[in-house]
Structure 1
Amino acid sequence: MNIRSHQKAAAAILTALVASASTGCAQVEAVEIEHYQPSKITPAKDGGHPVVTLTKLGAQRIGLRTEPVATRSGGTSIPYASILYDADQGQPYVYVNTGGLDFERADVTIETIKADTVNLSAGPPVGTRVVTVGLPQIHGAELEYGAY
């Protein structure tokens, strides 16, 4: 093999490496773009609360967990971990799963609290899933993006 042949072979290898690297970078950029997608906020309808839509990765990163509203004699119950309180009025509320990775604030009326169970006299219907892990992050997303 002469020098010219070596130069052509080296050029071909270099071209292949550059093409491979640029394709790899595009894949990394696509993953990073998805990785840093913010949650989506859908404005409130009819005086209600905005809907927070998490990305799948966002839900995984915050360790999102939900539990259904349970039946109890005379009302419903939810885990204490699902309760937040409005800073202005002190109104207790939960975030309910309205479908997929969509969550909306719902006011509740607490009847009693026993250990880690909250008995409600008013709130979401039985079977509605309420957030138990990830509340601060969902609330923060709602406030961060100008919902209020």
Structure 2
Amino acid sequence: MSRSSRSLLLALTLGSLSMPLAACTQVEEFESTYSSTTVEPIKGRDDDVQRVTFTAEAARRADLKTATVRPDGRRTSIPYDALIYDEEGATFTYVSPEPLVFVREPIDVLRIGGSRVVLRDGPPAGTTVVTTGAPEVYSAEFGVEE
């Protein structure tokens, strides 16, 4: 190999090694303003309950499922999966007044029987409650990170 060929080969080799370094640049941090959920205070309520709205994609990813409050004799009942306890042991469920919107509702449990929770006090029969995905709604309402 001639001297000029070796010089050309060396120049090409060194040039190709420096190309990945030349492509490296400082990337500015980007903070997205997109949110898959929104949390808003509810007008007229003095407690800490907030309205949580999921996008359709967020609800699909959280696998949110709902059921309805059923009459149970003179009482009402909800599926056991709709029962949530907070850190103080208070019981509540998330009701869905409209699609993809959820509001924490305090409940008073009379008894638990199998897969049903009979309520002493709670939302009326026919109300939609979250069954699968309630912890994700709770996390969204209180800003809990995974």
Structure 1 length normalisation: TM-score? Answer: 0.70
C-alpha distance in 2 between matches for 1:107 and 1:76: 14
Q: Could you list the per-position Cα deviations for residues 36-77 of structure 1 after superposition, in whole angstroms to 9, with x for gaps in the alignment?
A: 632000113321410000000001111110000000112001
Q: Which runs of 4+ in 1 moved over 4 A?
A: none
Corresponding position of 1:84: 84
* 2:40 alignment partner AA: T
Q: How does 1:1-148 map to 2 (within 5 A)?
A: 37-45=35-43, 46-48=45-47, 49-88=49-88, 90-144=89-143
Which runs of 5 or more residues in structure 2 are unaligned?
A: 1-31
Q: Could you list the per-position Cα deviations for residues 76-99 of structure 1 after superposition, in whole angstroms to 9, with x for gaps in the alignment?
A: 0100100111212x1100000011
C-alpha distance in 1 between matches for 2:70 and 2:106: 16
Which runs of 5 or more residues in structure 1 are unaligned?
A: 1-32
- Give the secondary-structure state (helix, strand or coil) at the position aligned to 2:126: coil
C-alpha distance in 2 between matches for 1:131 and 1:100: 11
Aligned residues: 111
